[in-house]
Amino acid sequence: MKTIAILGSTGSIGTQALDVVRQMPSLFQVEVLTAHTNADLLIQQAKEFQPNVVVIGEESQYEYVKQALWDDDVKVYAGTKALCDVVRMDCVDIVLSAIVGVAGLAPIYRAIEAGKQIALANKETLVVAGELMTKAAYDNRAVIYPVDSEHSAIFQSLAGEFHNPVRRIIITASGGPFRGKTREFLQNVTKEQALKHPNWSMGNKITIDSATLMNKGLEVIEAKWLFSVPLEQIEVVVHPQSIVHSLVEFADGSVKAQLGLPDMRLPIQYALTYPNRLANELPRLNFADHPTLTFEEPDMETFPCLRLAYEASREGGCMPCVLNAANEVAVSLFLRDKIGFYDIPRIIEDAMARATYCTPASVEEYLAIDKETKETIKQSYKD
């Protein structure tokens, strides 16, 4: 039996990870559950799974959670320091990071320092601080298994092939709700339109990232660090059906791909049970239901966020951190109806143009750049 800490257990990935645990109660014991503000769902999960520890990020809700779990044998903590402490506990084998945004940076770095097995769903960990994280993983023999469906597909396609030269990694994109739309159409789209993803059910932030194609840009940067592949060998292709989750082309011209229904529970399970493929009750792919699989080039002129991500990764240093921070603020502003759809890439490009190049050497330095970038943008959009 493996023991798991699920960071962000009340979010989309966290709740689906608990679905996987429910199906395999003899294999996994939940040791830690954490949430940022959703105290009610965290309490409900704690009563069902009886973890050793829960952490509520919002410290003002500590007493509420503590009182609710008073009769349960569950320790309750609050705040970022508690997050960083619990991932290092000896009783934890696997840390599944499903925290949204840069908030996941510090606890995952501490887990890597402790040599834990990491199941990574938090893109920002490698987007913002890929060089720092991968070096720490190497130094501490911490293994990072991808949870994103695209990176899981790449990982699965590379299984048994790690000695063979890779020519290209091809990341598939659904194209989001605005695939094929013109710049004129996108000038006046609403958040309600942007949140209607055709294939996946996800949180608001990542759904907007899908609409702008920034999610693919972040995945390109993440893939660069996860698989030690030069940026020039990572491509994006739009695949509206979301059945082929990504592909790898080898030096001899052979292409391997991983296919499946759009269900995050499969890559979550693979990350938790690797190298084993265990039977489950998940829906199965019926090829007759998908007679046509199509592929097309992404439109980087209409969706400039993907181009900006390539530029940030190419420049390196602090620039991916600036890109990510600016995107987080811009998406938040869009979701609050403060800006339009095309203001998102404009804000990101402006932030990158203003940024001074540097190479951060610690999590704290990355977080400082993130904070400075966000505060500068927010100053321009005060209510």
Tell me, what's the pLDDT at 162?
A: 87
When pLDDT is cut at 50, 70 and 90, the band that residue 118 belongs to is: very high
- What is the C-alpha to C-alpha distance for residues 106 and 140, in angstroms, rounded to an integer? 16
Residue whose entry in the numeric block shows the structure tokens 């080898």: 250
When pLDDT is cut at 50, 70 and 90, the band that residue 211 belongs to is: very high
Residue-by-residue DSSP string for 29-56: EEEEEEESS-HHHHHHHHHHH--SEEEE
Instruction: Identify the CA nearest to 127 among candidates 233, 227, 222.
Output: 222
Cβ contact 370:321 at 8 Å? yes
Please give the mean pLDDT across all residues of the chain.
96
pLDDT digits (tens, 9 = 90+) for 20-78: 999 999 999 999 999 999 999 999 999 999 999 999 999 999 999 999 999 999 999 99
Tell me, what's the pLDDT at 137?
A: 98
Residue 270 scores a pLDDT above 80: yes
When pLDDT is cut at 50, 70 and 90, the band that residue 247 belongs to is: very high
Tell me, what's the pLDDT at 198?
A: 79
pLDDT digits (tens, 9 = 90+) for 148-205: 999 999 999 999 998 999 999 999 999 999 999 999 999 999 999 999 887 767 788 8
Tell me, what's the pLDDT at 197?
A: 82
Tell me, what's the pLDDT at 86?
A: 97
Tell me, what's the pLDDT at 101?
A: 84
- What is the C-alpha to C-alpha distance for residues 338 and 340, in angstroms, rounded to an integer? 7
Residue 383 scores a pLDDT above 80: no
Label residue 337 exposed, middle or buried (CB < 10 Å: 0-12, 13-18, 19+). Answer: exposed
In percent, the amount of the chain with pLDDT more than 90 equals 93
For the chain, which domains are there? 2-146 (3.40.50.720), 151-263+284-314 (no CATH), 316-383 (1.10.1740.10)
Tell me, what's the pLDDT at 199?
A: 76
Cβ contact 97:120 at 8 Å? yes
This prediction has a pTM of 0.94
DSSP secondary structure code for residue 356 in this structure: P
Average pLDDT over residues 280-293: 95
Torsion sign across C-alpha atoms 33, 39, 44, 50? positive
- What is the C-alpha to C-alpha distance for residues 190 and 334, in angstroms, rounded to an integer? 9
Instruction: Identify the CA nearest to 173 among candidates 224, 225, 245.
Output: 245
Average pLDDT over residues 108-133: 96
Average pLDDT over residues 361-381: 95
